[in-house]
Amino acid sequence: MSDTNKSKRVVVIGAGLGGLSAAIALATEGFDVELIEKNDKVGGKLNILTKDGFTFDLGPSILTMPHIFEALFTRAGKNMQDYVGIQKVEPHWRNFFEDGTVVDLTPDSEAMRRELDKLGPEAAEEFARFMAYSKKLCTETEAGYFAKGLDSFWELLRFYGPLRSLLSFDVFRSMDQGVRRYISNPKLADILNYFIKYVGSSPYDAPALMNQLPHIQFEYGLWYVKGGMYGLAKAMERLALELGVRIRLNAEVAEIQRESSRASAIRLKDGEVLPADIVVSNMEVIPAMQQLLNSPATALKKMQRFEPTCSGLVLHLGVNRIYPQLAHHNFLYSDHPRKHFDAIFHSRRLSEDPTIYLVAPCKTDPTQAPPGCEIIKALPHIPHLDPDHPFTPEDYLAFRERVLVKLERMGLTDLRQHIVTEEYWTPHDIQARYYSNQGSIYGVVADRYKNLGFKAQQRSSELSNLYFVGGSVNPGGGMPMVTLSGQLVRDKILADLGQGSLF
């Protein structure tokens, strides 16, 4: 911890996991940190609602890579286990197909082989070869992109070298093409393709580098936060407060003020001005440029390649019965996956036959619902908000009905008759609550033609002391990556201070 840092005032805009992580990481290094959040609680999209005896985790429901979270606590001299408990979820998830096939993904190698045998005699061997490929992609990524915080393709080339970059990251293939190099069974290909859910993109557009995601899940496990996922946000809030971070809730930032090429202060909507030596924004880059920086059209045009990910229609259902066939995490697949992804990312339609991610958290934690009841969270991906392809409230309600009909057809008998409470969100709700870009859930889309899978850079191109964290910047979306972004921005700030480029 540097005494010099104590005189440096950092204002962090937004208390999502990226903002919390940055606040904790910088406070650990001795910076004077204030965290500003427009909503009434920390956590950003990691949110919670108690309703009619049911406790709904409104946002992320899968925890992977717990070591990234643990690193925040360890560097602060704390033990994460003293703040929050986590437990493994097995099977990782259950896969349902229209023809009645059900396949579990599980870390138990013998059980996994039995599941794969359902898909034919070659499936287990093909899966093993694919996972070796997935591990290689992950090992390369962790060495530079994660560990060094590489922030552009050119930094990647400088770190790895051109030939290694091209060969090691499988840059000429899509994710789907990478899968099908190894996998012949179409159902197994669909399962592996749908790991793209972590980053809200299409396996037919995303670079094959995204095929590292299965290895990440199998290597680091799938976890549940005891008592509900929101407990992780509360643990990070407690650590931040212990480190002296001042957290201001129900306070909305209206402007990042500047002097020449530096951020000088932030102005709140109530008119209060908070001076800052360094500003970190957990608000997504493009909305922040539009709303807080009033960036010129030329600057915004350069950001067009960082298109938002998909959004989702989010159904949180409290039901007065138990569906024993469900695991904690479940996927119910489209019979026409390419058409489904095309509807979301190209023709901008609400899919006629969506793949549905379904969470039944009471399988792990029955306390989240009254006795004899359980929670059904259904999340089909849908297009982000687009003024050229608008949907009406009636369109979303019709899609909701289509989703419920599909769930009943695939085994959740009489689901609609058993709903006793519901929380229903459209992309408009997501945009209004979190100021996400066009209602995006996961930040910036991974598209090999638009951005090679890279997100925006963490350093602002306009102001020398403005940095960004969260799903719209590298290393990307999802709880571990946005939390890592907070730690990487700490490293960038410390490096910039050491080089004298900030003051």
Residue 114 carries which side chain, given as an amino acid letter? R
The domain of 173 spans 110-223
Whether 125 maps to a domain, the answer reads yes
* One domain, residues 312 and 433: yes
* One domain, residues 313 and 400: yes
Q: In this structure, what token pair is assigned to residue 439?
A: 């209602």
Whether 102 maps to a domain, the answer reads no
Whether 444 maps to a domain, the answer reads no
* One domain, residues 473 and 485: yes
Which pLDDT tens digit goes with each residue over 117-126?
Answer: 999 999 999 9
pLDDT reported for residue 165: 64
DSSP conformation class of 210: G
* One domain, residues 432 and 318: yes
Stated pTM of the model: 0.95
- Check which CATH number belongs to the domain holding 245 and give it: 3.50.50.60
pLDDT reported for residue 154: 82
* One domain, residues 144 and 231: no
Whether 94 maps to a domain, the answer reads no
* One domain, residues 313 and 302: no
Domain final residue, candidates 416, 438, 460: 438
**Cα–Cα distance measured from residue 316 to residue 271, given in angstroms and rounded to the nearest whole number:** 37
* One domain, residues 345 and 299: no
* One domain, residues 322 and 377: yes
Three-state SS string over 24-80 comes to: HHHHHCCCEEEEECCCCCCECCCCEEEECCEEEECCCCCECCHHHHHHHHHHCCCCH
Domain final residue, candidates 168, 188, 223: 223
Whether 446 maps to a domain, the answer reads no
Domain count, the chain: 3
Whether 338 maps to a domain, the answer reads yes
Whether 92 maps to a domain, the answer reads no
Whether 266 maps to a domain, the answer reads yes
Q: Going residue by residue through the chain (503 aa), what tens digit of pLDDT does each one get? A: 556 677 799 999 999 999 999 999 999 999 999 999 999 999 999 999 999 999 999 999 999 999 999 999 999 999 999 999 999 999 999 999 999 999 999 999 999 999 999 999 999 999 999 999 999 999 989 988 888 888 887 888 888 887 676 677 888 899 999 999 999 999 999 999 999 999 999 999 999 999 999 999 999 999 999 999 999 999 999 999 999 999 999 999 999 999 999 999 999 999 999 999 999 999 999 999 999 999 999 999 999 999 999 999 999 999 999 999 999 999 999 999 999 999 999 999 999 999 999 999 999 999 999 999 999 999 999 999 999 999 999 999 999 999 999 999 999 999 999 999 999 999 999 999 999 999 999 999 999 999 989 999 999 999 999 999 999 999 999 999 999 999 999 999 999 998 876 76
* One domain, residues 457 and 397: no
Torsion angle of alpha carbons 6, 10, 11, 13, nearest 10°? -130
Domain final residue, candidates 223, 238, 267: 223
* One domain, residues 314 and 423: yes
Task: Confirm if 419 and 319 have CB atoms less than 8 A apart.
Answer: yes
**Cα–Cα distance measured from residue 7 to residue 24, given in angstroms and rounded to the nearest whole number:** 17
Task: Confirm if 488 and 459 have CB atoms less than 8 A apart.
Answer: no
| Tally of CB atoms within 10 A around 470 | 36
